[in-house]
Structure 1
Amino acid sequence: MKESNKFQNKIGVHVPSLLLPAKNVDMCKWSVVACDQYTSQPDYWKEVEKIVGSNPSTLHLIFPEVYLGKGDDDERIDKINHCMEEYIKNGTLVEHEPALIYVERKTSHTESRKGLIIAVDLECYDYEKGSCTLIRATEGTVLDRLPPRIKIRQNAPIELPHIMLLIDDPDKTVIEPLSEKLDKFEKIYDFDLMMNGGHIKGYKIDDEDTIKSILDALEKLTDPDNFRSRYELDSCRDVLLFAAGDGNHSLATAKACWESLKTGLSPEERENHPARFALVELVNVHDEGLVFEPIHRVVFNVDVNNMLEKLTEYFTGTSKAYWIDCSSEEQAFEEAKKFPGQPDKHVIPFTSKDIKGLIVVENPVHNIEVGTLQSFLDEYLKDHASARIDYIHGYDVVERLGSMDSNIGFYLPPMDKKDLFKTVILDGVLPRKTFSMGEAEEKRFYLECRKIR
């Protein structure tokens, strides 16, 4: 089925032909959480494997990153690509006419989060630092995280992303109006997600008038005068319409694969090649159901005392660091409250098996705590090859992992989501893993697919 190009626009939006599971597929077993979640919790993925068994599932189409580097990467990738081919051939995946999908997600943390499944033009996206494209990364891209994802995508016949792009639409003109006319759309799925993932509903939007109204509303957000007024900009800056909220590295992978592929295509072939576009879920940053959670750090296999000593030595010159010993995590958080709103101090509670406490950095050179901490961790990890870092959702997981032998966990504060777009416009990308859109179980679950070959 050829994808439609009748909805031409200047904002990098593409109306995709989606692949959805056949009606006999158990959707609860089909849909699993993003591959980059629970990366230090193999028990989670073992339980998912038990639930899924041999049933059709996106679990067989992804590479959970908890298993990366275990010695069977190539074998896993071959199985993934083979399974994709099989699902297309045996009718597990059914292709639909070009359409968008309106999504409503309920989780244990929020009653409703609204989204819109679209495809975006990778020619309008650049993940490099200093990018001024219509679609931009919100965090630094870690290039060494791309190769395993590229290995999967470069030979894959389909994509099934967990990318969530954000728009800054305070008047709620793009996605929210759709909720008022759901009776006009076909409901194509409605089921409970596994492993405390909540509930999800999807409605197909294929009528031209509704699609055009969505594109018109998006285009209004790119009006230069409106853009400058919204962010109080006194100079001409390139418009930012879509900011990558989740799936930064998956979107970067799609971009890298497209840049490689297009070199062998004619100009005509490039124009509408399916790999030029990437499937995403669009979410309004002002949606009440969208909450920015901090992403914490746990460092494994370290001498905690030595690490704290290195940390205090790292901050020199105008910056100075020290740490306060506490009897428990609770006391550390209470001590942190004694430093309210002081821009000349960054305060970071930490936990380990034998030491709990609070790191204080005076006169930091970075704007936010995560930048201050990450600058040290990057340098420390260069000199300590046996140490390993993981990026953690949830205070309880940090406490559990950080309190194990030779580990240390750092707790970071949340970021105000209303500051995201202006920060990216003015300062560029944030330090990697600055924020998370909700807790791990609230992340996007794989569901819709799309042909890219």
Structure 2
Amino acid sequence: MQNCFVPARILLPAGGTPLNPWACIAVDQFTSQPEYWEKAESLAAGKPSTLHLVLPEAYLGTGQEDARLASIRAAMEDYRLHLLTRQVNGYVYLERTQMDGTIRQGLVGAVDLEQYSFAPGSKPAIRPSESTVVARIPPRLKIRRGATLETPHVMMLADDESRTLVEPIGAVKDRLPLLYEGDLMLGGGHLAGWAVEDPALIAQINAAVTALGDPDAFAARWPGAAGQPAMALAVGDGNHSLATAKAYWEELKPTLTPEERQNHPARWCLAEVCNVHSPAIEIEPIHRVLFGVDAPAAARAFAAWLTAHGAAPRGGDQPILLTGGAGEYPFAVSGSPDPLAVGTAEHFIGDFLADHPGVTVDYIHGSQTARAMAADPAKPATALILPEFAKADLFKGVVLGGVLPRKTFSMGHAEEKRYYNECRSLIR
């Protein structure tokens, strides 16, 4: 069987195209802050930008959605035929300078959707790290259907403690062709990328991926998962984007011949792979904001919910802070039916929303942002601030316990999310 992460035919605009505004942040950011997207659109107006190829989730379900989809289709075809004039046949090694000055290293290539599944209980080589909400796929599938290009914000994580995959390419970057370098729009930091087309380096990457998915090494690292198929990569970010690509591939497969299924472009999805052990990879909790209920009422409901589930609001190791314009309510939950604080919060929110149809929830990166969104006493809202998430627990949780609760963690600050940059054709 071929590796789950392979070289790709990667497309880029002509050399010298400014990353600001060509590269655009992931569409699932700033979903409750339309002013961010208004600024981005102002910067990208009349200029080459991946913003013209994607639909920010802030516009999902709005009256603008259909018109934007038609515009996206037209932009994809125009860019594919006229703008994306450079090709990399292999990988792109990149370095992203983050807000604190650390450099996140990554490799962009293609992941095989035949070796990925979000079905509960499945154990493929590529696994989601968080629960996939199937209801979130159809609106994204509408975008994927008929698309002639993809540009990824999917980030995969490798459990590569020996640093065999990404870091060795960085060590020889000075002899690789520089593809792009510059600052990203709206505080996204600095980005540089190099072409990896040397057959020897490609073989080196392939060997490292093979070793990461070796069944014997996997069993030695995770004795508690004895007999389980080996996992090579976990989805770190863009879980629902990858799930949408998978859903489209499964929809397309029955229309293809056996030969076409082996090499159709839609079988793969472009993604960036990073090493979870890199000090530049930060795993941060994703907080929740409930709109339509103030903090005192939410706190009373949470305390009652805990009691009903045999738990207690004090004396435990799950710190959850409910805060809003009407006050702050710290909890230290003990005896929860869920092993992680995020699971407790998500379980409570699911039950609360079912009983309160007028209340909605959003998932927010950054505790200060979450607090600010719930701070106006004239607009009832409650932020649930969750504790830090240890990144060492990520692979352990996925391998031994299955997927984590949805929206458990974020890789870095919102502005540090992967920006759309590299592209790939989805048609022959």
SS in 1 for 2:120: coil
Percentage identity across aligned positions? 42
- 1:419 matched to 2:393: yes
Unpaired segments ≥5 residues, structure 2: none
Unpaired segments ≥5 residues, structure 1: 1-8, 324-338
Query: Within 2, Cα distance between the matches of 1:62 and 1:185?
Result: 30
Find the counterpart in structure 2 of residue 21 from structure 1: 13
The answer to whether the Cα contact below 8 Å between 1:391 and 1:433 also exists between their aligned partners in 2 is: yes
SS in 2 for 1:263: helix
SS in 2 for 1:430: coil
Find the counterpart in structure 2 of residue 250 from structure 1: 241
> What is the root-mean-square deviation of aligned Cα atoms in Å?
1.5
Query: Within 2, Cα distance between the matches of 1:125 and 1:234?
Result: 18
CA deviations 1:51-102 (Å, max 9, x no partner) are 222111011111111122222212211111111011122x211251521000
SS in 2 for 1:195: helix
Q: TM-score normalized by structure 2?
A: 0.96
Structure 1 residues 245 and 234, CA, compared in 2 at 3 Å: closer, same or farther?
Answer: closer
Find the counterpart in structure 2 of residue 191 from structure 1: 182
Pairs within 5 Å for 1:82-101: 82-89=74-81, 91-101=82-92
SS in 2 for 1:170: coil
Deviation at 1:345, TM superposition (A): 4.0
Find the counterpart in structure 2 of residue 366 from structure 1: 338
Would you say how many aligned residue pairs link Structure 1 and Structure 2?
A: 425
The answer to whether the Cα contact below 8 Å between 2:16 and 2:180 also exists between their aligned partners in 1 is: no
1:439 to 384, 388, 413: 413
The answer to whether the Cα contact below 8 Å between 2:127 and 2:235 also exists between their aligned partners in 1 is: yes
Q: Structure 1 stretch 22-31 or stretch 251-260: which is displaced more? A: 22-31
Letter in 1 for 2:273: L
Q: TM-score normalized by structure 1?
A: 0.91
Find the counterpart in structure 2 of residue 398 from structure 1: 370
Deviation at 1:393, TM superposition (A): 0.9
Query: Within 1, Cα distance between the matches of 2:209 and 2:426?
Result: 25
2:25 to 29, 33, 47: 33
Find the counterpart in structure 2 of residue 4 from structure 1: none
CA deviations 1:278-308 (Å, max 9, x no partner) are 0000000001111111100111122543333
Letter in 1 for 2:409: F
- 1:428 matched to 2:394: no
- 1:287 matched to 2:287: no
2:66 to 61, 65, 74: 74
2:255 to 248, 258, 264: 264
CA deviations 1:171-217 (Å, max 9, x no partner) are 10111011111122100001111111110110000111110011111
- 1:450 matched to 2:424: yes
Letter in 1 for 2:414: A
- 1:301 matched to 2:292: yes
Letter in 2 for 1:228: A
SS in 1 for 2:224: coil
The answer to whether the Cα contact below 8 Å between 1:130 and 1:428 also exists between their aligned partners in 2 is: yes
Find the counterpart in structure 2 of residue 139 from structure 1: 130
Query: Within 1, Cα distance between the matches of 2:413 and 2:88?
Result: 34
Pairs within 5 Å for 1:148-187: 148-187=139-178
Query: Within 1, Cα distance between the matches of 2:68 and 2:287?
Result: 29
Query: Within 1, Cα distance between the matches of 2:217 and 2:61?
Result: 47
Query: Within 2, Cα distance between the matches of 1:313 and 1:194?
Result: 45
SS in 1 for 2:302: helix
Query: Within 2, Cα distance between the matches of 1:425 and 1:31?
Result: 34
Deviation at 1:165, TM superposition (A): 0.4
SS in 2 for 1:399: helix
Pairs within 5 Å for 1:211-250: 211-233=202-224, 235-250=226-241
Q: Structure 1 stretch 417-426 or stretch 310-319: which is displaced more? A: 310-319
Letter in 2 for 1:372: T
Q: Structure 1 stretch 441-450 or stretch 311-320: which is displaced more? A: 311-320
Query: Within 1, Cα distance between the matches of 2:87 and 2:225?
Result: 46
